[in-house]
């Protein structure tokens, strides 16, 4: 039967319901039991930081949260918290969608001036993919350079590969074990959909992604304090890991981590699925040349325009499903220009070709600047970010 | 129904069938698919080592094996192999039964002059028992002193706590992951009897016990060589771990580890179960005083003697079920004396009290000497054994 395949969102898969033009993020909020980011939260962030909220917040790209008010309460009382995000290094080249959480995390680090830990789950990618350990480990280091190129503060940012950190920090393995003791196979199956044909490494892995939410996993940064709150910006498909983490946190004497959830970055083909490295025609990579960017946008970006210019002028385009317009909401920072484009496209004044041209220019700039910054990331800089540092921010 | 409860042997439980006087080790050989240690193997060991086989071998205490001929083939060709054994540190005091694999391993190290690694599974005990991590870690170090007191060569022996080694040796976590990727939840359930109410830590743990059978888990000892054979002396209840290890070994490019299996050391109450730290009345501890040893043997050791002295003199005792006699087969090294005792007890010439007195004297000596050696194990000596060493035996 057509149309009866339901929307499915897990850390490994994201697709809209059959026949739907978009993933239904409101449904995810209800299903996961998180809270919508509302005007009141935005105003509070603006008041506390003294700056307008990031356009990802203003435009609903980060749209859902858990317990962010608790973190802001701490911040108001000058109590410490830290940021935690991560990446599964499954491919050499990162794509535009991968940038989203890091650009946002950089904003959070800038406005709150807090320590940040970034986990590279090379162990996860080895377990899930047809990938050798040494290759996953290499990709973790390659991807870390792209992450550093987003502009993080080397004095307050620790990037670690699980393979490296598990075998260098005693507290990390200990926290993984503590979490693994609190979660049954039944619970892991319920949360992640594991089955008995999965390998035993997968079943235990969620504890590895949970552990960095607990400050004692980073003794050099937070000494032995268990009281330090954690705020995790991530795409909403990672929520299952942190629902589990929040469930075990009080039993282990840690605060529950707070979360900020983003929507997915759509595939070039449309918002029914997210951009995926394993499908190059769906993705624009941070390594793409200006020419490749132009070709991909012109060839693949799903258009909300009309079939003929005449119809388009008469009835207007639909920016809500137009991928080029959606991408501009992520990367065109100028609110006025974006509003103008939306209006012109919807009215039919702007054609799909003109809209795409606008996007190509924005992306060529963004990726070109990223490429320049990425080139400057030497192995020494990488080593600086990947060496556990001693942080005296709170001491 | 009486008598229909079958024998059960897992790494966590060992009991005879209902109504049976002993655990049926022949049945385990058939069930596990291992080989009985026969006269031909004993002769070959004697020829190769130039010494009579250890009395544990001569008396069938180590009774079963896998692939030991392959290890001996290597040894004949002057190809390297190493020994691997371990202990789960769940209690402060080790008991007599815990000594058995270590006394035998010391013999193997002496006659073959090979490196030895000893795993202290403090992570396992944390996952399985009501025990804090730091306490399991402390017990690992306490127990390691008892193990060192068995007389191992510090230049060829590395003792490690999983908690320490996982967070210091990159290759160890990597090999654990490689193994975890090869074993499904279905397989782990089949081998170990795990259920979905078990915690996710337990499901993944078997890979941690498997990893030390692979030489690359010890880069400082074996460099990066994958070709070095491994011989594991252990009680037969540990076989499930190594059946799994042998199954994955060829897929990861390692030789299958060889095994030497011992029977269990019986509880004072009889050979239906094994000595257990959690039941103090079943056990004689290495910390027991001479007086406590005497009292426990007199009070608890199950006797194969007759109800009255008159009957005993007439019909004789049964050494096959007599725990004191069984213990002498483990710890009285003099073959002639042991044969004399068996003959005298079976004929009725020796009474239970006399037999027990003989055992008390042997155990008081054994444990007294152990206590003296244990006292001499300083923290510096412990550190020497627990620091990964560079071994140039084969280089």
Interface check for A200 against chain B (CB to CB < 8 A): the answer is yes
Same domain, A50 and A194: yes
Please judge whether A185 and B167 are an interchain contact, meaning their C-beta atoms are less than 8 angstroms apart. Answer: no
Domain count, chain B: 2
For tokens 């809500």, name the residue: A320
Nearest-neighbour CA in chain A from B190: distance (Å): 11
Q: Do B204 and A206 touch (CB under 8 A)?
A: no
Q: How far apart are CA B335 and CA B331, in angstroms?
A: 11
- Please check whether residues B86 and B232 belong to one and the same domain: yes
**DSSP class of A264:** P
Distance CA A133, CA A124 (A): 10
The closest alpha carbon to A230, from A217, A220, A238, A240, belongs to A217
Cβ–Cβ < 8 Å for B131, B90: yes
Residue pLDDT, tens place only, A96-155 = 999 999 999 999 999 999 999 999 999 999 999 999 999 999 999 999 999 999 999 999
CB-CB neighbors (< 8 A) of B189 in chain A:
196
What does the pLDDT average to over B118-145? 98
A167: in domain: yes
Note whether residue B226 is domain-resident: yes
Q: Which of B163, B173, B184 sits opposite A198 (nearest CB)?
A: B184
- Tokens read off for A362: 């924005």
Identify the bridge partners of residue A274 per DSSP, sorted by sequence position.
A266
Distance from CA of A122 to the nearest CA of B (A): 11
pLDDT for res A179:
98
The minimum CA-CA distance between A253 and chain B, rounded to whole Å, is: 14
Q: Which of B237, B267, B297 is the last residue of a domain?
A: B267
User: What average pLDDT does this structure show over A196-215?
Assistant: 98
The mean predicted confidence, pLDDT, of chain B is 94
Question: For residue A30, is pLDDT > 90?
Answer: yes
Q: Are A258 and A231 in contact (CB under 8 A)?
A: yes
B169: closest CA of chain A, how far (Å): 6
What is the rounded distance in angstroms from the CA atom of residue A370 to the CA atom of residue B336? 83
Is the CB of B147 inside 8 Å of chain A's CB atoms? no
Cα gap A25→A263, rounded to integer Å: 7
Instruction: Please check whether residue A382 lies inside any domain of the structure.
Output: no
Measure the CA–CA gap between A98 and A284, rounded to whole angstroms.
10
A199 contact B CB<8A: yes
Asked if B206 and A200 come within 8 Å (Cβ–Cβ), the reply is yes
Q: In the prediction, which pLDDT does B171 show?
A: 97
Question: In this complex, do B196 and A189 lie within 8 Å of one another by their Cβ atoms?
Answer: yes
Question: Do residues A143 and A385 lie in contact, with contact meaning Cβ atoms separated by under 8 Å?
Answer: no
For chain A positions 178-197, those within 8 Å of chain B (CB to CB) are 178, 180-186, 188-189, 194-197
Distant-in-sequence, close-in-space partners of B149: CB < 8 Å, separation ≥ 6: B370, B373, B374, B376, B377
Burial class (CB within 10 angstroms; exposed 0-12, middle 13-18, buried 19+) of A130? exposed
In the three-class reduction of DSSP (H, G, I as helix; E, B as strand; rest coil), residue A185 is classed as helix
Q: Which pLDDT band holds residue A20 (cuts at 50, 70, 90)? A: confident
By residue count, chain B amounts to: 395
Terminal Cα distance for chain A, rounded: 62
Is residue B392's pLDDT more than 70?
Answer: no
Closest approach of chain B CAs to the CA of A161, in angstroms?
Answer: 11
Mutate to test the interface with A, among B141, B185, B191 (most CBs of A within 10 A): B185
For chain A, the average pLDDT equals: 94
> How high is the pLDDT of residue B391?
66
pLDDT band of residue A1 (cuts 50, 70, 90) is: very low
Question: What kind and span of H or E run contains A391?
Answer: none
H-helix or E-strand spanning residue A261? strand A258-262
Q: Are B48 and B75 in contact (CB under 8 A)?
A: yes
- Average pLDDT, integer, range B152-175: 96
Helices in A77-232 by DSSP H: which ranges?
96-112, 122-128, 133-148, 162-166, 170-182, 185-192, 200-204, 206-210, 219-222
CB-CB under 8 Å, A123 with B177:
yes
Calculate the alpha carbon distances from B79 to A67, A351, B253 in Å.
61, 76, 17
pLDDT band of B30, cuts 50, 70, 90: very high
Q: Does A214 touch chain B (CB under 8 A)?
A: no
pLDDT score of B3 more than 60: no
pLDDT band at A172; cut points 50, 70, 90: very high
Within 13 Å of residue B169, how many CA atoms lie on the same side as its CB?
A: 27
CB contact under 8 A, B164 and A174: no
Per mean pLDDT, which range of A66-70, A303-307, B342-346, B388-392 is the poorest?
B388-392
- CATH classification of the domain holding B301: 1.10.240.10
CATH number at residue B255: 3.40.50.620
Instruction: Give the minimum alpha-carbon distance from A65 to chain B in angstroms, rounded to a whole number.
Output: 28
Q: Is B198 on the interface with A (CB under 8 A)?
A: yes
The predicted structure's pLDDT at residue A207 = 98
Most A CBs within 10 Å: which of B193, B195, B199, B206, as the mutation test of the A interface?
Answer: B199
**Alpha-carbon dihedral sign for residues A311, A317, A323, A324:** positive
| Cβ pair A133:B172 closer than 8 A | no
From chain B, the residues in CB contact with A181 under 8 A are: 126-127, 199, 201
Per DSSP, A263 falls in state: P
pLDDT at A22 (0 to 100) = 86
Give how far B187 is from chain A: nearest CA, Å. 8
Smallest Cα distance from B131 to chain A, Å = 11
Q: What is the pLDDT of residue A60?
A: 97
Minimal Cα distance from B165: which residue of A? A167
Would A143 be classed as within a structural domain?
yes
Give CA–CA dist B247/B207, Å, rounded.
Answer: 12
Whether A393 maps to a domain, the answer reads no
Pick from B177, B196, B240 the residue to mutate for testing the A interface (most A CBs within 10 Å). Answer: B177
Cβ within 8 Å, pair A181-B197: no
- R_g (Cα) of chain B, nearest Å: 21
Three-state SS sequence of chain B? CCCCCCCEEECCEEECCCCCCCCCHHHHHHHHCCEECCHHHHHHHHHHHCCCCCHHHHCCCEEEEECHHHHHHHHHCCCCEEEEEEECCCCCCCEHHHHHHHHHHHHHHHHHCCCEEEEECHHHHHHHCCCCHHHHHHHHHHHHHHHHCCCCCCCCEEEEEHHHHHCCCHHHHHHHHHHHHHCEHHHHHHHHCCCCCCEHHHHHCHHHHHHHHCHHHCHHHHCCCCCCEEEEEEEHHHHHHHHHHHHHHHHHCCCCCEEEEECCCEECCEEEEECCCCCHHHCCECCCCHHHHHHHHHHHCCCCCCCCHHHHHHHCCCCCCCHHHHHHHHHCCCHHHHHHHHHHHHHCCCCHHHHHHHHHHHHHHHHHHHHHHHHCCCHHHHHHHHCCCCCCCCC
Helix (H, G, I), strand (E, B) or coil at A81: strand
Q: Is B123 on the interface with A (CB under 8 A)?
A: yes
Q: Does A293 touch chain B (CB under 8 A)?
A: no
Contacts of A168 in chain B (CB under 8 A): 167-168
Note the pLDDT tens digit of each residue in A323-359.
Answer: 999 999 999 999 999 999 999 999 999 999 999 999 9
- For residue A84, the cross-strand partners are A117
Residue A131 forms contact with B (CB below 8 Å): no
Q: In this complex, how many residue pairs, one in chain A and one in chain B, have their CB atoms less than 8 Å apart?
A: 116
Q: Are residues A144 and A59 in the same domain?
A: yes
Give percent of chain A above pLDDT 90. 86
Q: Are residues B179 and B302 in the same domain?
A: no
pLDDT band at A392 (very low <50, low <70, confident <90, very high): low
Buried b (16+ CB within 10 A) or exposed e, B8-23: ebebeebebbeebebb
Report phi then psi at A382, rounded to 5: -55, -45
Which of A46-55, A227-236, B275-284 comes out lowest in average pLDDT? B275-284
Q: Which residues of B touch A185 (CB under 8 A)?
A: 185, 194-200, 203
Contact A259, A34 (CB under 8 A): yes
* A292, A242: one domain: no
Residues A324, A254 within the same domain: no
Kindly list the residues from chain A whose CB atom is less than 8 angstroms away from the CB atom of residue B181. 126-127, 199, 201
Domain contains A284: yes
**Residue-wise pLDDT tens digits, B66-93:** 999 999 999 999 999 999 999 999 898 9
Asked if pLDDT for residue A75 goes beyond 50, the answer is yes
* Tens of pLDDT, residues B360-384: 999 999 999 999 999 999 999 999 9
Spell out which residues of chain A touch residue B195, defining contact as CB-CB under 8 Å: 185
- Among the candidates B201, B235, B267, a domain finishes at B267
Are residue A213 and residue A84 in the same domain, yes or no? yes
CB-based contact A199 B189, cutoff 8 Å: no
pLDDT for the residue A391 = 66
Q: Are residues B281 and B255 in the same domain?
A: no
Give yes or no for a contact between A212 and A221, defined as CB atoms under 8 angstroms apart.
Answer: no
pLDDT at B52: 96
Q: What's the rounded mean pLDDT across residues A44-57?
A: 97
Query: Is A196 within 8 Å of B189 when comparing Cβ atoms?
Result: yes
Taking the Cβ of residue A174 and every Cβ of chain B, the question of whether any pair is shorter than 8 Å is answered with yes
* % of chain B exceeding 70 in pLDDT: 97
| pLDDT at residue number B224 | 80
Question: At A384, is the secondary structure helix, strand, or coil?
Answer: helix
Same domain, B163 and B288: no
CB-nearest partner of B196 from A185, A198, A204: A185
Residues of chain A found within 8 Å of residue B135, distances taken between Cβ atoms: none
Q: Which pLDDT score is estimated for A118?
A: 98
pLDDT at residue B2 is higher than 50: no
Range of the domain at B115: 8-267
The pLDDT score that the predictor gives to residue B358 is 97
Q: What is the CA radius of gyration of chain A?
A: 21
For residues A303 and A262, state if they share a domain: no
Chain B: nearest CA to A179, how far in angstroms? 8
H or E stretch including A159? Answer: strand A157-161
Judgement on whether residues A258 and A354 belong to the same structural domain of the protein: no
Q: What percent of chain B has pLDDT over 90?
A: 86
Q: Does residue A392 sit within a domain?
A: no
Which of these three, B267, B296, B324, is where a domain ends?
Answer: B267
Same domain, B187 and B294: no
Whether the per-residue pLDDT at B1 is higher than 50: the answer is no
Cα separation values, B150 from B52, B146, B158, B173, Å: 20, 7, 14, 29
- Rounded (10°) angle between helices B239-248 and B170-182: 90
Sign of CA dihedral A314, A319, A321, A327: positive
Between chains, do A163 and B181 touch, taking CB under 8 Å as contact?
Answer: no
Band (pLDDT 50/70/90 cuts) for residue B395 is very low
Q: Which two structure tokens, joined as six digits, stand for B87? A: 């202990």
Inform me whether the pLDDT recorded for A393 exceeds 80: no
The answer to whether the CB atoms of A199 and B181 lie below 8 A apart is yes
**Which among A128, A141, A164, A200 is the top mutation candidate for probing chain B, defined by the most B β-carbons within 10 Å of its own β-carbon?**
A200
Q: Are B258 and B70 in contact (CB under 8 A)?
A: yes
Task: Give the tens place of pLDDT for each residue, A261-294.
Answer: 999 999 999 888 888 887 878 899 999 999 999 9
Residues of B in contact with A164 (CB under 8 A): 170
Contact B127 A177 (CB under 8 A): yes
B381 located within any domain: no
Beta bridge partners of A120: A87, A161
Per-residue model confidence (pLDDT) at position B4? 62
> d(Cα B274, Cα B8) in Å, to the nearest integer?
12
Contact B177 A127 (CB under 8 A): yes
């Amino acid at each position: 039967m057509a149309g009866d395949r339901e929307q499915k969102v897990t850390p490994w898969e994201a697709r809209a319901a059959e026949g739907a033009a978009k993933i239904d993020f409101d449904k995810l909020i209800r299903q996961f039991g998180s809270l919508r980011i509302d005007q009141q939260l935005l105003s509070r962030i603006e008041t506390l930081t003294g700056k307008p909220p990031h356009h990802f917040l203003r435009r609903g790209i980060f749209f859902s949260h858990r317990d962010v008010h608790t973190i802001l309460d701490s911040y108001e009382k000058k109590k410490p918290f830290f940021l935690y995000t991560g990446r599964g290094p499954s491919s050499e080249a990162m794509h535009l969608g991968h940038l989203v959480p890091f650009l946002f995390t950089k904003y959070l680090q800038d406005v709150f001036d807090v320590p940040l830990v970034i986990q590279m789950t090379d162990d996860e990618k080895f377990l899930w993919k047809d990938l050798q350990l040494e290759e996953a480990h290499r990709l973790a280091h390659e991807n870390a350079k792209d992450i550093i190129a987003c502009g993080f503060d080397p004095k307050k940012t620790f990037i670690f590969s699980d393979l490296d950190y598990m075998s260098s920090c005693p507290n990390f393995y200990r926290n993984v074990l503590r979490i693994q003791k609190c979660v049954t196979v039944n619970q892991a199956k319920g949360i992640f959909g594991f089955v008995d044909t999965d390998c035993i490494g997968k079943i235990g892995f969620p504890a590895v992604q949970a552990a960095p939410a607990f400050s004692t996993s980073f003794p050099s940064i937070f000494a032995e304090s268990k009281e330090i709150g954690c705020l995790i910006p991530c795409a909403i498909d990672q929520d299952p890991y942190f629902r589990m983490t929040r469930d075990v946190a009080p039993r282990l004497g840690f605060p529950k981590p707070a979360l900020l959830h983003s929507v997915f970055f759509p595939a070039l083909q449309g918002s029914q699925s997210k951009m995926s490295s394993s499908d190059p025609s769906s993705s624009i990579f941070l390594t793409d040349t200006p020419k490749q960017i132009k070709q991909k946008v012109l060839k693949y970006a799903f258009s909300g325009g009309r079939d003929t210019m005449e119809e388009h002028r008469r009835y207007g385009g639909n920016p809500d499903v137009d991928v080029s317009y959606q991408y501009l909401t992520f990367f065109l920072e100028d609110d006025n220009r974006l509003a103008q484009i939306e209006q012109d496209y919807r009215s039919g004044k702007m054609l799909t070709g003109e809209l795409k041209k606008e996007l190509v220019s924005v992306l060529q700039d963004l990726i070109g600047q990223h490429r320049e910054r990425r080139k400057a990331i030497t192995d020494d800089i990488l080593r600086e970010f990947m060496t556990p540092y001693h942080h005296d921010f709170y001491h």
